[in-house]
Structure 1
């Protein structure tokens, strides 16, 4: 079966930075599974490359920052007073906070704790980086009516209600 709109795609992938360092990969027994056809389950550029492929086919896509995790935005780095944080914090911890400008909930990472101040960064850790996404398709199947109604995959390796 070909990958077309409203099919469920199961694949194994490896993701690399521009220096060829492995950033992420699927485990053999835990493939990535997504609903194909513009449901935001995978990077749009990768979805486009997968369209029309079949089980066993491979794709290798290099994405610029705008196609992957976005450009690095220095305005998303903030310095906050230490006393607005819980007692037990350390560099690398992540937390959600409301963005006062947009009202959206954002994910921030603590990058520095020093002199009564905490530096937090709202950029994705891979923002500003060129990413290579190499994948092999394990399986393609028609999506169920329920999956189409909900806009995501159900069952093994998918969403559970």
Structure 2
């Protein structure tokens, strides 16, 4: 769920060519492609999510593909570095906004089992969006459109796996292609 900044969630369909591997000693800067593992928790709490059991996340720096506070903390790091960083809600998923709910026809959830408090992905005109079910009616569902981590100060433990320069195609598209990235 943390994977990318909400604005970065875009559907995809075909595969682009695979990009080059890590460049030794390259520091993270704008247009760097970074593959990394992360563990995220609310500050002082148990981990909420980790990428350790799956492939590393791949992002391109400077294109809104990840929360601003984590992106800023990655600058000037290089492959092999590990670090921890606390990110305030305002630099993560934003403050929790009251009244950000919507009534959605139940048919948009397919066969998903719905109950108050359940987090689900809802397909919107802007791509998939994580929502929290508030109330389930006979034909409609009330959902909270705030990101599930909105209003929370977060702690990230990060391990940088590799860093490379983005290809021209990746820069043109604003996101990573190939392993760990988008497939068009």
| TM-score, with length taken from structure 1 | 0.79
Which residue does the alignment assign to 1:142?
165
Find out whether 1:159 has 2:182 as its counterpart. yes
Q: Deviations over 1:17-72 (max 9, x none)?
A: 12321111113550011112x20122222211111111111231211111111111
Which stretch shifts more, 111-120 or 68-77?
Answer: 111-120
Q: Is the 8 A contact 1:57 1:136 kept in 2?
A: yes
Number of corresponding residues? 152
Which residue does the alignment assign to 2:143?
120
Which residue does the alignment assign to 1:3?
28
1:57–1:76 distance in 2 versus 1, CA, 3 Å: same
| TM-score, with length taken from structure 2 | 0.70
Give unmatched runs, 5+ long, in structure 2.
Answer: 1-25
Which residue does the alignment assign to 1:95?
122
1:142–1:117 distance in 2 versus 1, CA, 3 Å: closer
Q: Is the 8 A contact 1:96 1:108 kept in 2?
A: no
Cα RMSD of the aligned pairs, angstroms, is 2.7
Give unmatched runs, 5+ long, in structure 1.
Answer: 99-103
Which residue does the alignment assign to 1:130?
153
Aligned counterpart for 2:46 among listed residues 11, 21, 26: 21
Aligned counterpart for 1:60 among listed residues 69, 73, 84: 84
SS in 2 for 1:149: helix
Q: After TM superposition, what 4+ stretches of structure 1 lie above 6 angstroms from structure 2? A: 114-117
Larger Rg: 1
Cα distance in 2, alignment partners of residues 94 and 34 from structure 1 = 21
Find out whether 1:32 has 2:53 as its counterpart. no
Which stretch shifts more, 24-33 or 138-147?
Answer: 24-33
Which residue does the alignment assign to 2:6?
none
Which residue does the alignment assign to 1:85?
106
Q: Is the 8 A contact 1:12 1:28 kept in 2?
A: no
Q: CA deviation at 1:129?
A: 1.0
